[in-house]
Amino acid sequence: MNVLTVSGSPHFHTGQSVSKIMYGVVFSLLPAMLVSFYFFGLAAILLTLTAVVSCMAFEFIIQKYLIKGPLTIFDGSAIITGVLLAFNVPANLPLGLVVIGSAVAIGMGKMTFGGLGKNPFNPALVGRVFLMISFPVQMTTYPEPSVFSTKLTDVVTGPTPLTFLKDGISRGQEVSELMPNLPDYANLMMGNMGGSVGEISAIALILGGVFMLFRNIISWHIPVSYLGSAAVFSAIFWFIAPETYPDPLFHLLTGGLMLGAIYMATDYSTSPMAPKGMLLFGVGCGVLTIIIRLFGAYPEGVAFSILIMNAFVPLINRGFKPKRFGEEVKNG
Amino acid sequence: MGGVHPPENKFAEKQAIKVLPPPETVVIPLSQHLGVPAVPVVEKGDKVLAGQLIAKGEAFISANIHASVSGTVVKIDSMPETSGYRKQSIVINVQGDDWAEGIDLDKSLAKECTLEPEEIIGKVHESGIVGMGGAAFPSHVKLRVPKGKKADYLIINGVECEPCLTADHRLMLEKGREIMVGISLQMKALGVERAIIGIENNKPDAIEHLSELAAEYPGVSVESLKVKYPQGAEKQLIQALVNREVPSGKLPIEVGCVVHNVGTSYAVYEAVQKNKPLVERVVTVWGTKLKQPSNFMVRIGTSVAHLIEAAGGLPEDTGKVINGGPMMGKALNDLNVPVTKGTSGILLLPEHESMRPTEQNCIRCAKCLTICPMGLEPYLLSTLAMKQRLEECERERIMDCMECGSCLYICPSGKPLLDYIRLGKQWTGKMIRERNQ
């Protein structure tokens, strides 16, 4: 006679697992990774590898020696944090700083709160902002894109389109004077511009986002509301004073907006649960990003706006519930 | 809203219903329905005929129970039952197959009915008919529309949204004419002009067959529905067919609907037109390694082990046996338990599919919340229940949960969400009852 297993229903499961989802995200990051390797060469490869390995290493050390709990370094989440941290810094950042950033991202951003699913702030962004504040010079020295360079030092550096524009406008120049000196939209779309490792290519990031949508890893709510609100909000200023404020398409294609909207803001544990909450969260991120870009001290506001909105997530989850069945009386 | 798409795996959909002869013994529990158990009217040693009343459902929500076989009552005692508990049951040793007087065993279709609505309901009541979709709620209670309410629609549930099960599907194909008569009887009892049969579009043959038959019956129509679990849940079915939402904590009659299963409609036909009480039903026996997945017409009280033998025997590596569908059915710990009025299927899962996935941290992916057909937040409810924060459970509408299992099915972290929600519902229900006293 067989021994029968008894458990509560249901008795079927999708077979979906945390690591399958996480590796799905890693897979979707490949196009953006390849573009960054193409434009920033060996430096970008070394940087990404260093970030991934050190994120996994710090998670291992903390789980093994501090928490003394189960090891989950191969569930893929530390790999994502590593890749995203690398994507958020300049390609020629000294590798030692990346290791420090990884320690902060994993230690302070993730494990302090209990690990995967429990952290309120996006770990990679915590790492990035920490580096930004601690090493402002290295974090704002961006190499110019070239075709697969193997040079690791003495690279040509230059401003990102957002920095270039912000500096110019603050000197009193007009947008129309500055624009001819910047890559055209086709190049911005492909990623042929200065910037952090993984943020440059809008097209590669959108490709990854579409893959995640089809695999049901993310829903459309956050990316669409983030990008949409950023576009609408920046368009208002552009209509009022096109000489001082660049057009919405420029905003969408430059800086970390695509990376932020598709990968950073959609992080499961740091974004709202209900669709309506996700929309509010996305709009908040979009509006804050544009406010920081146009009126803040920094040329880029994606990281800050996402972290600020992360802090509101518990509140949003309380206020925005899914539509309950039978809530409004429908009678034919 | 919401819902999931588990693999359908309807292996037995082409297997015609096979009538299984009565076994050597049957065990007939006194409580096969929601509500108060029936009271025995026979004693140990009594000779009974098939179809003879052996226990009376006297309470408002209860159901009569009839002998499903002829023979001798050998025991009235507590016996193991599908729920895992022991229940008071009547055990009958089978002798021959003799039926009580007045029961028409002729297979010809009896279409005409001159009975008044109250007489139809009386027949349904006498015959011990309960909802055959699984919940086993006494049918006569549903047919009596409470004062002040009015029924607009009779909704017939032919959805069979649980994967693996094919009992209703076969019944619709093979007993379509009888089901149609049963539906017209229920319409008469309820005094409604319209009846809608909802069938998922993975059963095109059943949709076609019943649509043809329905042409003869004014007011009866067949609607094809998207394949989605739990499309056949009462509230979801009403919403899909007539776009009305049953309010939280209320019954379908609140929005003018009464829902009955196709199996129930067949039982109503037999009871009213053939005078035959509910003593048998169709049960799907299913398993990936099973020799012959089948649909059996079985006498109530036949043991599960006997059914599995009839389908080719228990496969070597069976790790789990389920009474019902894979999403809402109950795992059995003993195969010597009887088929009851609510048993729609017996499923055999191999060892490697019997275990739950390993539990991991909740990653807050929000999938449970997206698919919940009741618009609840399973991740939140399970945490609140675990911490016994029952006031908050109530506020977050834990009592609306129908335990369809979609959340646990979809959860990538393998969280036992529904286990905690079930506990939370029990505790919260108790808290509400105590408060109302």
Mutation target for A interface from B364, B367, B400: give the one with most A CBs within 10 A. B364
B47-81 pLDDT, tens per residue? 999 999 999 998 989 999 999 999 999 999 999 99
pLDDT single digits (tens) B260-304: 999 999 999 999 999 999 999 999 999 999 999 999 999 999 999
Q: Does residue A331 have a pLDDT over 60?
A: no
Residue A328 pLDDT: 66
% of residues, chain A, pLDDT over 70:
98
From the list B1, B329, B380, which residue is nearest A11 (CB)? B329
| pLDDT (mean) for B8-25 | 93
pLDDT given at position B1: 64
Residue B121's pLDDT band, with cuts at 50, 70 and 90, is: very high
Q: Which residue of B has its CA nearest to A3?
A: B319
Give the pair of three-digit tokens for residue B186. 């229920």
d(CA B256, CA B246): 9
Task: Write the CA distances from B218 to B183, B193, B240, integer angstroms.
Answer: 11, 8, 22
Q: Which CATH code fits B117-274?
A: 3.40.50.11540
The answer, yes or no, to whether residue B375 has pLDDT greater than 70, is: yes
Determine which of A9, A217, A219, A320 to mutate to test the interface with B (most B C-beta atoms within 10 Å): A9
Across the interface, whether the CB atoms of B370 and A332 are under 8 A apart is answered no
A273 touches chain B (CB under 8 A): yes
What ranges do the domains of chain B cover?
Answer: 117-274, 367-436
Examine the pLDDT at A2 and tell me if it is beyond 80.
no
Nearest CB to A2 within list B314, B375, B419: B314
ipTM score of complex = 0.90
Candidate from A118, A273, A330 with C-beta closest to B366: A273
**Cβ partners under 8 Å of residue A158, min gap 6:** A142, A143, A144, A194
Looking at residue A148, its pLDDT comes to: 79
Query: Mean pLDDT across the stretch B188-217?
Result: 95
pLDDT digits over B297-354, tens only? 999 999 999 999 999 999 988 999 999 999 999 999 999 999 999 999 999 999 988 9
| pLDDT tens per residue, range A42-59 | 999 999 999 999 999 999
End-to-end alpha-carbon separation of chain A, Å?
A: 54
pLDDT in tens, A198-207: 999 999 999 9
Contact B347 A11 (CB under 8 A): yes
Average pLDDT, chain B: 94
Distance CA B412, CA B360 (A): 9
pLDDT of B407 reads 96
Q: Is the pLDDT of residue A1 over 60?
A: no
Q: List Cβ<8 Å contacts ≥24 apart for A92-96.
A: A92/A43, A92/A141, A92/A143, A92/A152, A92/A153, A92/A155, A92/A157, A93/A47, A93/A131, A93/A138, A93/A139, A94/A138, A95/A46, A95/A47, A95/A50
Scanning B191-248, the segments in alpha helix (DSSP H) are: 204-214, 234-242
Give the number of beta-carbon pairs within 8 Å between A and B: 178
Q: What is the pLDDT of residue A149?
A: 79
pLDDT of A144 above 70: yes
**Mean pLDDT, residues A81-93 taken together:** 95
Whether the per-residue pLDDT at B84 is higher than 90: the answer is no
DSSP code at position B163: T
pLDDT at B418: 96
Kindly report, residue by residue over B219-234, the tens digit of the pLDDT: 999 999 999 999 999 9
pTM to 2 decimal places:
0.91
pLDDT in tens, B418-433: 999 999 999 999 999 9
Nearest-Cα distance to chain B for A172, in Å, is 47
Looking at chain B, the whole-number percentage of residues with pLDDT higher than 70 is 100
